[in-house]
Amino acid sequence: MPAAAKSPPPQKPVPEAPPARAPGTGLSVVQRALRKLGLLRDIDFALYLPMRYEDETRVVRLADVRDGEMAQIEAVVTDSEVVFRPRRQLIVTVDDGSDTCQLRFFNFYPSQQKQLAVGARVRVRGEVRGGFLGRQMMHPAVKAAGTALPEALTPVYSTIAGLAQPVLRREVRSGLARAVLDETLPAGAAPHGAWDLRRALSFLHYPAPDVAIATLEDHSHPAWQRLKADELLAQQLSQLQARRARAAQRAPVLDTAASGGPLHTELLAALPFALTGAQQRVGVEITRDLARDIPMHRLLQGDVGSGKTVVAALAAARSIDAGFQCALMAPTEILAAQHFGKLVGWLDPLLAERGLRVAWLTGSQKKKERDAMSAAVESGEAALVIGTHAVISEKVRFRNLALAIIDEQHRFGVAQRLALRGKAGGELEPHLLMMSATPIPRTLAMSYYADLDVSTLDELPPGRTPIVTKLVAEHRRDEVIDRIRFQVEQGRQVYWVCPLIEESEAVDLRNATATRDELADALGDKVSVGLLHSRMPTAEKQAVMESFTANQLQVLVSTTVIEVGVDVPNASLMVIEHAERFGLSQLHQLRGRVGRGAAASACVLLYAPNEGGRVGEAARARLKAMAETGDGFEIARRDLEIRGPGEFLGARQSGAPLLRFADLSTDVMLLDWARELAPQMLDRHPELAHKHVDRWLGSKAEYLKA
């Protein structure tokens, strides 16, 4: 039988003092701290689980405690004095009859000195350490001996400044007692062996002392299974609700017949290459969506260089053929400019014949130019609008936006995506196509992206050369520079990526400027070395990129502003300095900047081992993955293992709920259970489904509309 949950342990009353008020808020410091932790509703407190536990349920003999163990003893104070070596401290000696121990306090109050006077009998809890002076405890917890021992383990919660642990324990206990924990699962629907919610929460806040701690730490206990199942179900229900709500909305029907309209046909004919099988398949999926009056909500995922921009251009052509406008929003001006350059080349000649054009909107534009572009957008002359966040500026008004395309969608927040969708005006919703060069592992697609239809470009265009990836230690830097010299002599170009712009005392990294100077000196006057970083003015950045694209610069030293979108087919070598500092997805994106032409290409990961000649475990896993595979889907799977979904998703779920308890790498069976139950609950038990989502997500479920 699993151990039953014990009642909350008796607590010493916390002295009531007039609550300190946070300036200008009307809230006490404690209330403001609780809000920062997201603790507003009773259920929020009930679901705020301990990060660890302390065992205060038993007293042990000091002689039975091993060095390094946490122990609680009851003993008599035999000596107590304040000393000044080397700083002021209180040193107390206690004897429990089996052994003696020295208690040492560097921060203490007169009340503690009084509590620890010679002859006092006290209960002391702390880590016992052996040493030259005998056994010691540093800053142990002290209370009077003889009081009743708790019957359950004592919870320790994650907290912040202004919220002491005893106060937080009191607030959580109170919220748990008040929380409505009625059953929201249909009868017989709970996973096999899982507890009911009230019993599970009571147990996890106050576990019995005889429970196997490992089952609490690895979340395998039946109480944990119930919470993880409920959390995954809430996520699946909210995603399904969002999908069904969108199905009730109406969007423009962009039906230009199965063969495509004139612009679509002309664009296909004008492209200097044939579409891959994957591009054709995905094009059919998007065309099918656009021909319906239900808003498309599709994610187009494809590895670096798989040809997402062409698919986006063909979707835009369908929108324009039907008499509507299309907007494409990218996270950076460099990426937006890359799209603009390609799409203008493909579409502008075809649009000009129709009295239409491609518009360009960014924050760095002069007012006169931006006003002219905005006027073209409002009149409908601009059939395709490409830009950064400026596209969603209040001053930009579309005549009849029908298709919104968002590139690198994980780099945008929820509010920004909603703002672009809101540009359609009227009662119709625009179709939404989101693109990502970071492939999504299956478990993420099943959970965080369950509200999306996913199209995958799993085939690279012909002519893309495989990229050889090499791990090179920092001490072989000169060999790398020799490799650069050889590439330049062959007429090729080189990227060198640095992680910082300027010197940092905290992190010993070479800066981009110093690296540019070093490479210029080493390579000589015949090789032009450029510099690109995020603090440069936009016009200067564009000028540098144009010079590199035109091969006026042979080597480009850059920060990660070139991570996505940069397309220079003549570049055949990518050097990433301090590669151990970069994320796996970022390394893969940077590697994808080469291998875009016919020349054999390589990516050198230059890493700096620590003093012991090693790199950290996570960094080693990232570098190993890069060396072993060039498959973006395998990279994404390993990235999820290393980082977890929170970091992997980035801003996709900004403000929306990330899983707190379930682990997608180990809880796939629970995820399958939740995916199967969610539609049944919405169809047969809608009230229970609503209560379940509200309990777990509250207002956060609104963010799934993006």
Choose between 357 and 417: higher pLDDT: 357
User: Starting at the edge strand that comes first in sequence, how are the strands of the sheet with 325-329 ordered?
Assistant: 357-361, 382-387, 325-329, 401-406, 431-436, 297-302, 453-457
Question: What is the structure's pLDDT at 381?
Answer: 93
Per-residue confidence at 20, pLDDT binned at 50, 70, 90? low
CA distance linking residue 83 with residue 85, whole number of Å: 6
Give the SS3 label for residue 358. Answer: strand
Amino acid identity, position 509: L
DSSP output for 212-266: -HHHHHTT-SHHHHHHHHHHHHHHHHHHHHHHHHHHTS--------TT--HHHHH
Phi, psi at 35, each rounded to 5°: -65, -40
Per-residue confidence at 282, pLDDT binned at 50, 70, 90? very high
CA distance linking residue 556 with residue 577, whole number of Å: 13
Question: What is the structure's pLDDT at 593?
Answer: 84
Among residues 686, 209, 203, the alpha carbon closest in space to that of 194 is found at 203
Amino acid identity, position 366: K
Pairing of strands 325-329, 382-387: parallel
Q: Among 62-66, 170-174, 387-391, 548-552, whose mean pLDDT is lowest?
A: 387-391
- Angle among Cα 619, 623, 625 to the nearest 5 degrees reads 115
Give the SS3 label for residue 516. Answer: helix
Choose between 238 and 4: higher pLDDT: 238
Q: How many CB atoms lie within 10 A of CB 442?
A: 13
Four-residue CA torsion sign, 309, 313, 314, 318: positive
Task: Give the bridge partners for 557, in sequence order.
Answer: 496, 531
Among residues 418, 362, 351, 366, the alpha carbon closest in space to that of 386 is found at 362
Question: What's the DSSP call for residue 145?
Answer: T
CA distance linking residue 478 with residue 604, whole number of Å: 13
Question: What is the structure's pLDDT at 507?
Answer: 41
Q: Among 180-194, 363-377, 453-467, whose mean pLDDT is lowest?
A: 453-467
Average pLDDT, the chain: 85
Instruction: Check whether 462 has a pLDDT greater than 90.
Output: no
Does the N-terminal peptide bond of residue 86 adopt cis geometry, omega within 30 degrees of 0?
A: yes
Question: What is the structure's pLDDT at 415?
Answer: 62
Among residues 326, 353, 607, the alpha carbon closest in space to that of 477 is found at 607
Q: How many CB atoms lie within 10 A of CB 469?
A: 22
Buried b (16+ CB within 10 A) or exposed e, 270-284: eeeeebbebbeebbe
User: Are residues 287 and 318 in contact, defined by beta-carbon separation less than 8 angstroms?
Assistant: yes
Instruction: Check whether 352 has a pLDDT greater than 70.
Output: yes
Question: What is the structure's pLDDT at 214?
Answer: 85
- Angle among Cα 362, 363, 364 to the nearest 5 degrees reads 95
Instruction: Check whether 268 has a pLDDT greater than 70.
Output: yes
Per-residue confidence at 196, pLDDT binned at 50, 70, 90? very high
Question: What is the structure's pLDDT at 291?
Answer: 92
Instruction: Check whether 466 has a pLDDT greater than 90.
Output: no
- C-alpha distances (whole Å) from 366 to each of 363, 371, 394, 539 are 9, 9, 17, 11
Among residues 541, 538, 539, 516, the alpha carbon closest in space to that of 529 is found at 516
CA distance linking residue 194 with residue 485, whole number of Å: 64
CA distance linking residue 565 with residue 558, whole number of Å: 14
CA 491, 496, 501, 503: dihedral to nearest 10 degrees? -120
Instruction: Check whether 153 has a pLDDT greater than 60.
Output: yes
To which H or E segment does residue 454 belong? strand 453-457
Amino acid identity, position 370: R
Helices (H), 364-500: 367-379, 414-421, 442-446, 477-489
To which H or E segment does residue 137 belong? strand 136-138
Question: What is the structure's pLDDT at 117?
Answer: 95
Share of the chain above pLDDT 90, in %: 49
Instruction: Check whether 441 has a pLDDT greater than 80.
Output: no
Query: How far, rounded to the nearest angstrom, does the alpha carbon of residue 57 sit from its chain's CA centroid?
Result: 39
- Angle among Cα 41, 45, 50 to the nearest 5 degrees reads 160
Give the SS3 label for residue 383. Answer: strand
Task: Give the bridge partners for 222, in sequence order.
Answer: none
Instruction: Check whether 311 has a pLDDT greater than 70.
Output: yes
